[in-house]
Structures are given as C-alpha cells and as structure tokens.
Structure 1
Amino acid sequence: MPRMTMIEAIRDAMDVAMGRDDNVVVFGEDAGYFGGVFRCTQGLQQKYGSSRCFDTPINESGIIAAAIGMASYGLRPCVEIQFADYMYPAYDQIVSEAARIRYRSNGEFTCPIVIRMPTGGGIFGGQTHSQSPEALFTHVSGLKTVVPSNPYDAKGLLIAAIDDPDPVIFLEPKRLYNGPFNGHHDRPVTPWSKHELGEVPQGTFKVPLGSAAVRREGSDVTILAYGTMVYVAEAAADEAAVEADVIDLRTLLPLDLDTIVTSVRKTGRCVIVHEATLTSGFGAELAALVQEHCFYHLEAPAIRVAGWDTPYPHAQEWDYFPGPARVSHAIREVMEA
C-alpha cells in the first residue's frame, strides 16, 4: 500500500469518490485550477473538468447555499472552506438549512454535503487562520462532525462522509497535513519521515463515522483526544510514565460513547485534551458524559486540558496549545488523587 501525507490521502479520497460517482462535485475558493491553498484538490479539475471541480467567489455563505441546493437535487457536493475561521458567514446556512432539511421535509429531502475545513493552529497563521470551532457544530442537531488524526483515517472517514446522506463537517488539523509531528516537542519539529506514516489503501475503503480508535492501551488513565492532540496525549503519557488508554475519538458526533465508557470504567481516571478554548469546548461535553456514565468507577475527577479562554494569541500560540508538559501535569494530578 502507498504511504501518504494527510493532504495526499484527502485528495485521494475525493479522487476515488469522483471517479465512482458522477454526482460528486468539489468546489470552493481556489479549489479548482489552483488546487486549494493547501493543494488538497490539486489535479482534480484537470482530471474531471471544470464542471465537477471549480473555483468560487470569496463568499462562504454562497458556497454553502449552492452546495445545499445541489444536494437537494441529487448531487453530492464536497466543498472546501479555505480555513475554518472563514465559515462564520456561512454558519446560518449550515445550521438553519443544511442541518434541518431532513427534518423540515419529513425525510423527503436529504442534504448529503461534506464541508471540509482546515482547523487549528501551529502554522503561524494568526487569529483568523487558526481557530478550532468544532463545538459550534457539535451543538447542532442534524450535523455530523469528524476530525481525523492520520492519513489512513482521513481517507476512510472522508469517503464515508461523502457517502453519508446527511451533512458532515470535516475538520482537518493543519499541523498534520504534511505528516504527524513529534508530540514530544512543544515547538515545530521536522515531520516524521514517510516510512513512519500509516499505509493508506488504494481505492475505496471506509472508516465508519461514530467509531473511535484506541491508539494505546493501558490501565492507569484514559486520555480522550482528537486530531493533533492525539500525538500530544501519547507524548504526555510517555512523559508522565503511565500506562494510558489513549483514545482517538475521530468522530465527535456521532460519538463512540461505548469505547469511552469501557475505558474509563477500566482505568478509573480520565484526562480530556483539545486545542479549542476551555469554556464550552467539546471537552465539557465529554467530561459530563464521563461523570454521568462512570461516576461510581472514578478514582478522581475528570480533568480538561485545553486552550486558553482568550482570543487566539498569535504571538503565544505554542504556549496556548496543550503540550505534553501541561497534559502530563494533569495526568499526575489524577493519578495522585
């Protein structure tokens, strides 16, 4: 099997989907001729033509509105919002239209769209290119929210999302685009070499939406993470010298609650890690679920490690992120409770 970066795996997923189904269309700002700002759609217009992969104006609301109309009439749009930070003008279309079509039409219409968005920081993009808005989507009934952490999952989850009959928010961590970073460092490092990347199968395969992955098994503590933070969680477990269950959620909604509950009931301790701000972040939902389902098994309160409750601090972004030092401190805290 070939080895790919996440960019290559995402591109391959769209290529596979477009090749097997003429109803799949790809578009967004610079997504056509230029191949996207991160080159995720590079070559698709040349292969499938400008009617199936094309550029749009700088109008996020228009991009999503067009996708919703196309989906209602039988197409399967896979659209790119250039950065997750840019989706706010389109939020009303996503929440008020895409998420509700199935319910408003009593099942007569569905909205099979995928909205791809690069998310998170670590590329020195500043305040308007680095946000992690996943909690704004997980709060909305009718949407599914996906955050892959590696090329294998990125391809399998994206194909599953394109095939899904309902709208899927597909958040792509920018720090992982060109290979997983070494989570032991709190500053940028050279990505792992390609032979250390996971192999990605050719052709069609799916990673089911709503299925978490246990990246590391242990009996001391459960660490819940997704996207870039999976690697930070693994590094923190090493630093704290504990045997941890590191769970990569992969899909935030639908959430694989069974895997979470099984792990926390086994370990009795839970640390939750995400890059977004702490207050009202998705970690709060995870902590509530752990308390509801695992209360009598807990040896310590679940602890969240997250970004600061501030606007995104460009000059201090590597302190803003949860790094191994902050996460390992939380691990030690729950272990000593």
Structure 2
Amino acid sequence: MARMTMIEAIRSAHDLAMQRDEKVVVFGEDVGYFGGVFRCTAGLQEKYGKHRCFDAPINESGIVGAAIGMAAYGLKPVVEIQFADYVYPAYDQIVSEAARMRHRSAGQFTCPMVIRMPTGGGIFGGQTHSQSPEALFTHVSGVKVVVPSSPYDARGLLLSAIEDPDPVIFLEPKRLYNGPFDGHHDRPVTAWKKHPLGEVPEDYDTIPLGKASVRRKGSDVTVLAYGTMVYVAEAAADETGIDAEIIDLRSLMPLDVEAITASVQKTGRCVIVHEATRTSGFGAELSATVQESCFYHLEAPILRVAGWDTPYPHAQEWAYFPGPERVAAALKDVMEA
C-alpha cells in the first residue's frame, strides 16, 4: 500500500489506465504541459506524449463534443473541466449526445468517456469555482455520477469509470484534494500521511461503480452522505455520541439502494447530508427512495441537512456549508422524535 493524497491517487489512476490501454487519452484546459490547475495530470504529457495528453481551448462544449466523437470512434477519452462551475456550456453535449449514444444507436455505439470536475467549495473560490451540480447529472438517464471521498476510492473508482462503456461524470471534492477533513474548517488535520484512508494499493485495483461503503457502523441512525460531507457526518457523530451508521454513497448513479435500505431498516432513522442547494438537491431523491423502501421501519421523519437555497455566498461560504453543528442538531432531532 502506498500513502497518497487524492490528487496523487487521481494522477496514479490516469497513469495506470494509460499504461494498460493505449486508447485512453487525456485532455482539457491546462492538463498537458502544466499538469492541471490542481496538478492531477502532472507528468502525463511528458511520459505519454502530446498525442495522448494535451491541452484544449477554453471551450467546454468543444472539449466534451470532441470527446464524444473520440469515444464513438473507439478511444477512451478522459477530459477535465477545470471547475464543475464551467460545465454548463457543455451540458447539451452531455445530455443530448453522450447520454443517448448507446440507446439512440440501438447498442451499435457506446460512449466510453469520463468527465472529471473539481466540485464544491471550501477554497474561497467564489461563486464560479465552488458549485455542486451533481443533481443536474443524476437526472440524466444514460450518465453515471461518481463522487469519491478518499484517495483509495478516487483511484479505484476512476479506474472503473475509465473502463466503463458509458459516460461517467466524476466529481472530485476539492476540499479533499490535499488531505483529510475533520468536518471543521478551522481545525487542520496534520496526520494525513498516517490516515488509513490515504493508503492506496500500488497495483491496478478497481472499485465497482454503484457500490456504497459503510464508513462507520452504528445502530441509532443512518446518515447518507458523499464527498466532503462524509467527514462532516463523522465529526457530528463523534461530538454527539450518537451511534450513527454513516453510508458513503460513492456512486450517486447507479445508486446502491440495497445498502441504503439495509441500513435504514436496521436503524429506523435517516439523516441525509449534502453540500449542494437543498431544493431539488440529490437529497430529495434519497429521501424518496428511503420513504418508498423503508416506510414501515421508520421511527422518525427523514431529515435533510444541505446548503441554503441561495446563490453561492463567497464571503460567507463556511456559513453556507452544512457543518457538524447543523448535522448534530439533525441527529438529535431524529433521536428525540
């Protein structure tokens, strides 16, 4: 096992995939010579050449459109949109072309491509560098959506995404890029190199898409979270002493309904946590799924803890995020119901 940050794990996944399959190509804004704004592709152009890792113009629609053509032709493009906030010009290409390729061609063509995007806030990036648009993609049939929360998951899930025959949206929580997160923005974690979630297999090791991870076993309440919010949920459980079972969804689409159902039927309570805006956020879909599958097992209403229904507030972003205090309050509410 090697110890890596999430950036290093993502870089390693690219490297292994490109070694294994010459059809894998990597491109996007500044991913070539510079190695990406977060350095996730550093060294790939030097190792594999400009024909396999190269820079693209600042044209998200063009980047994704070109990748769709490459995928239909038989390549396996992995493209980076520099920030998730920049993907909107490419949304039509994703929805109207990539997602429908397999079905509109009756299986004659597939679209094996990955769109990587840093997502979420926490780096004081402002309104155009901090959004969490995952719900916009989980609504699109034909697209898979992945959100890792650790280096181990990032590497294994990215390798699986590259192998997948259909388009995968791969959202990388930028707050987790360089180290662990204890749920508090003002409490730095200094033991990242010793953190068990930083241990990553050195060989080619995949994690199947659509399988959640039980990050913490418990019997009082189920917490459904993904990305950065997994650490917030852990902090809230630690501080309240409530025996929470924390499910890291990892894949939002396909969703591991079996793991969710098993946990909620055991605990009888459910709290859902995500960073994105509350209204029409992915938490609403999770709530409906739990209601349909676990109604007769529930001992309390399902609660959601999410971002506020406001444009992303640059100066007050840490007040916008669900923090351990808000999650702890929800845990106490469901236990008292």
TM-score by length of 1: 0.99
Structure 2 counterpart of 1:181: 181
CA distance in 1, matches of 2:146, 2:293: 23
Identity of aligned residues (%): 76
TM-superposition CA deviations, 1:17-65 (whole Å, max 9, x none): 0001000000000000000000000000000000000000000000000
Matches within 5 A, 1:248-287: 248-287=248-287
Structure 1 counterpart of 2:200: 200
CA distance in 2, matches of 1:226, 1:191: 23
Q: How many residues align?
A: 336
What is the letter of the counterpart of residue 193 of structure 2? K
What is the letter of the counterpart of residue 169 of structure 2? I
TM-superposition CA deviations, 1:161-202 (whole Å, max 9, x none): 00000000000000000011122x243624543111431011
CA distance in 1, matches of 2:187, 2:80: 26
Q: Secondary structure at the match of 2:47?
A: helix
CA displacement at 1:238 relative to structure 2: 1.1
Contact 1:4/1:197 (8 A) holds in 2? no
What is the letter of the counterpart of residue 86 of structure 2? Y
Structure 2 counterpart of 1:317: 317
CA distance in 2, matches of 1:59, 1:7: 24
Structure 2 counterpart of 1:224: 224
State the superposition RMSD in angstroms: 0.8
Q: Secondary structure at the match of 1:326?
A: helix
TM-superposition CA deviations, 1:91-129 (whole Å, max 9, x none): 000000000000010000000000000000000000000
Structure 1 counterpart of 2:7: 7
CA distance in 1, matches of 2:237, 2:94: 38
Query: After the TM superposition, which parts of structure 1 deviate over 2 Å for at least 4 consecutive aligned residues?
Result: 186-193
Contact 1:181/1:192 (8 A) holds in 2? no
CA distance in 2, matches of 1:197, 1:119: 23
Contact 1:112/1:167 (8 A) holds in 2? yes
Q: Secondary structure at the match of 1:311?
A: coil
CA distance in 1, matches of 2:265, 2:306: 23
What is the letter of the counterpart of residue 257 of structure 2? L
Structure 2 counterpart of 1:330: 330
Structure 2 counterpart of 1:214: 214
TM-superposition CA deviations, 1:58-87 (whole Å, max 9, x none): 000000000000000000000000000000
CA distance in 1, matches of 2:23, 2:185: 43
Contact 2:273/2:305 (8 A) holds in 1? yes
What is the letter of the counterpart of residue 32 of structure 1? G
Structure 2 counterpart of 1:156: 156
Structure 2 counterpart of 1:103: 103
Q: Secondary structure at the match of 1:314?
A: coil
Q: Which ranges of structure 2 fall in alignment gaps of 5 or more residues?
A: none
Distance 1:191 1:150, change over 3 A: farther
Contact 2:180/2:189 (8 A) holds in 1? no
Matches within 5 A, 1:20-39: 20-39=20-39
Q: Secondary structure at the match of 2:16?
A: helix
Contact 1:10/1:151 (8 A) holds in 2? yes
Contact 1:99/1:141 (8 A) holds in 2? yes
Structure 2 counterpart of 1:134: 134
Structure 2 counterpart of 1:115: 115
Q: Which ranges of structure 1 fall in alignment gaps of 5 or more residues?
A: none
